[in-house]
A and B are shown apart, each in its own frame.
Chain A
């Protein structure tokens, strides 16, 4: 409950953030909503001698929408994602997923950027960002670069982001077709036993495009190209859905914990993916 002592900073621009990261190296961490980092600091599992609060950094809470593209500033909260009418219209899957994350209080504070950057396989947004083919914008001492969400996750809490880089924005194409985020969890606020993000485009009664990503079934989110391939070109009948589930099961690697043994997680993964595909297809 009692975190170790630290120095606290609230810079107002990215230059100030980067200067602090450069100065303090591994001893500095940025904080967004604080709802993963502070709990870890309270358990002394994270020690952060220099804590850089991003809340005053101008521009990080912006949302921009065009006909083709959505850009979310890293500090956009889950609460905003749920309640922003234009965003909800453009990408309803974001709202559907955000409503399954945590609880009201946490959603007022927790941000999309923190969720995506955290690197905990339990987080829901990473899989969703892979499903939607989002690009993450990172800013560091050498300037700005973009990395695909599908390439960002390396292992639990290990990502492509360098220690002196900050995730500042997430850009994704406006999703097309039907969507679903299906999550099985023990109770409100729990990380998924298994969850599936699905986006399906339909043309001439057939699956034209499919994107399937799974949450908390490996030490990273899993975007399943094999499951996508099993769906495209079909009429999304039960055999095709079964084939997609079988393909997905080849890509995941869950581990046993309080949410259940591996066999159970694989079973639940199949159930949530079946439901997600069927719901996405019904909306396509």
Chain B
């Protein structure tokens, strides 16, 4: 298997931190240290920047996420400690809400599948759960389990179950019990910062990537999560992002060694994963984020410190 670059999207004038697809897979958002969000779409077979959102944040925009219940909503969070909600239901993308509360840099934002919740996390070591009530967002909980900078939050693909990871090397899982959110499990096998996590399609497996240069696969056995596989030796520097395809079950990783790697579950033994593609120099500098298109099963988006967003297509050999 190999990756072929099918589009190089220029426009950002500083490092690009994150890419995200909408639910239909026809719109991609990227965000950057240049304080803008760019929305990319395909017009007559060419990928173009449809919109640039430059009002909203005062500092680096660290991550973006489309709502999973409605493609008219986008959330972005920034080093300026705020989260913006962008709404397209009236025609243009407008920043309709600005969620404040974190003490410093906001690192990640995620919508729950139900659309009822939004989660944000920050260097202030907290994870906030916001409840959406009539187009307004109320803080439902402030979770303080992490002892350090929280790098990423992610909701389960089906349930209102939240996962976070960070600088304290741990992954933590949260759920609501009797109207109160709490951390009910901590996964602490990584030896350094856990940069990112992603669930498989059904949500019974979780992949994590870390500054310790490994990827770990976790499996839920009905009562607990346990690490069933550790992939090491494939990246030489910090692994910044991981994306588990809901279409093909392939796992893509982005790292500080400029590589994108793709792993596949072994057909013969379930908990074994093997490298099926290693693409060197995917970007000229660190690759910060990767995300599989949710509909077009062979399309992957990436972005990097070289200010570029790239689109890749899988080629089966």
A and B associate = no
